[in-house]
Amino acid sequence: MTLIQEKVAQAVRLLNELHVPCWLTFARETGINGDPVLPFLVQADLTWPSALVITADGGTHAIVGRYDRQMVQDTGAYRSVEGYVEGIKAPLLQLLKALAPPAIAINYSQDSEICDGLTHGMFLTLCEYLAEIGYVERLVSAERLLSALRQRKTPTELGRIQQAIRITESIFDKVGGFIIAGRTEREVADFVRAETERAGVTAAWDPATCPAVFTGPDTAEAHYGPTGRPIAPGHVINMDFGVRADGYCSDLQRTWYVMERGERVPPPEVQRGFETIVRAIEEARREMRPGIVGRDVDATGRAIVVGAGYQEFPHALGHQVGRFAHDGTAILGPAWEKYGRKPFQPLEEGMVFTLEPRLTIPERGIATVEEMVVVTATGAEYLSTPQTTLRLVD
């Protein structure tokens, strides 16, 4: 069974679980305005207005432009695939009238960008069509369905994520031997990019900031490209990096310390900061299990960092990872306005999260480690190999 067949079959199960009779994905020119769910449903871009309809009774229907028909047919995921020429309205209304669903879930959401793939223009067009058969009032948000479809990873998806993690960890191991005093953030990043290309994969996010490399104090801290700043003894170095392998991402961070002349061990303040990060990650992981909400997991990790005397980090403790480095609806974060309802979503088995607290070590730099874990039936397990020892640069 292919990944698309897996996810379409999973969608049918979810429709029944959530008591949603019908799900409609409505899109056009997806190479420009691609709905984030489409890679689960088709294997290439759709051109003309297209409708992918899945029902709780196992019905799987596609109405697409004539030239897209064979591509959709070849997925093997749809019982009926109709290719039109003049327009989609007539065949779409005919199908919906035959199905007569009491509710039709469509891809919009106020809180989750991953569930908000229906463009406003296509929404207006759909409403115009459905007004002709009196179905406009049957439209509901597909957010719960889309969230579950993305976050409940299948074995195939987990395997691809683990592949991306292993490649990332291998590159981290190699770059550790490249980092020396005098080299710049940009030179380190160029080494990582070359290794990424050599591994036959791509960066997990924009290559301008993947990898992100920060050395010493007074840096941009995150979400910024490598600079010409040279690495120097006494610096803490942080790198944020991930790859996309076979359509799925990794997202990890590692921390090094550059030893000063005569030092045999890291300074106490550096070691203490690093150990605080490691402890926050492990305690948060132990808190994770199906049913707990992300806010509570965040609170556990955040309390350790703040309780150790460090300033509160200005972001969520962790986010989901999948086809994107930032994926899914639920987040391990505080109840801040920018996160909407995401921190209140309960964790589910199969979710893959990062755990990434951070803190500032004065005059040294930013210490942070980012691990990846999967939620299991009883807790959470590491997918990455945890960094529990501070990496040292002589």
Question: pLDDT tens for residues 237-274?
Answer: 999 999 999 999 999 999 999 999 999 999 999 999 99
Question: DSSP assignment of 145-169, as one string?
Answer: HHHHHHHS--HHHHHHHHHHHHHHH
Residues 6+ apart with CB under 8 A from 106: 23, 24, 25, 26, 118, 123, 126, 139, 140, 141, 142
Which tokens is 282 given? 């492990």
Domains of the chain, start order: 3-150 (3.40.350.10), 152-393 (3.90.230.10)
pLDDT score of 222: 84
Convert the pLDDT of each residue in 103-113 to its tens digit. Answer: 999 999 998 99
Q: How far does CA 140 lie from the centroid of its chain?
A: 25
CA distances from 182 to 178, 191, 230, 232, 389 (A): 11, 15, 5, 6, 24
Question: DSSP assignment of 117-130, as one string?
Answer: -S-HHHHHHHHHHH
With beta carbons less than 8 A apart as the criterion, state whether 23 and 11 touch. Answer: yes
- Which residues are 54's β-sheet partners? 23, 60
With beta carbons less than 8 A apart as the criterion, state whether 221 and 356 touch. Answer: no
Q: What is the pLDDT confidence band of residue 71, given thresholds at 50, 70 and 90?
A: very high
Listed in order, strand segments (DSSP E) in the chain are 22-27, 50-55, 60-65, 80-84, 104-106, 139-141, 202-203, 212-215, 236-241, 243-245, 248-249, 252-258, 318-320, 327-332, 352-355, 358-361, 365-368, 371-375, 380-382, 391-393
Q: For 280-299, what is the mean pLDDT? A: 98
Q: What is the pLDDT confidence band of residue 223, given thresholds at 50, 70 and 90?
A: confident
pLDDT score of 283: 98
Read off the pTM: 0.94
* Residue 394 pLDDT exceeds 90: no
Residues 6+ apart with CB under 8 A from 375: 288, 289, 290, 347, 348, 349, 350, 351, 352, 353
Q: At what angle do helices 89-99 and 120-131 cross, to 10 degrees?
A: 60
- Which residues are 243's β-sheet partners? 203
What Rg, from alpha-carbon coordinates, does the chain have? 23
CA distance 167 to 296: 32
Output phi, psi for 92, to 5 deg: -70, -45
CA distance 259 to 42: 51
Percent of the chain whose pLDDT exceeds 70: 100
- Which residues are 63's β-sheet partners? 51, 82
Output phi, psi for 243, to 5 deg: -125, 160
CA distance 174 to 166: 13
Tokens 């403790």: give the residue.
317
With beta carbons less than 8 A apart as the criterion, state whether 96 and 326 touch. Answer: no
Query: Which of the 8 DSSP states describes residue 379?
Result: S
Which tokens is 240 given? 């944020």
Instruction: Mark residue 246 as left, alpha or beta (left: phi above 0; alpha: psi -120 to 50; beta: remaining).
Output: left
Mean pLDDT of the chain: 97
* Residue 220 pLDDT exceeds 90: no
Query: Which of the 8 DSSP states describes residue 228?
Result: S
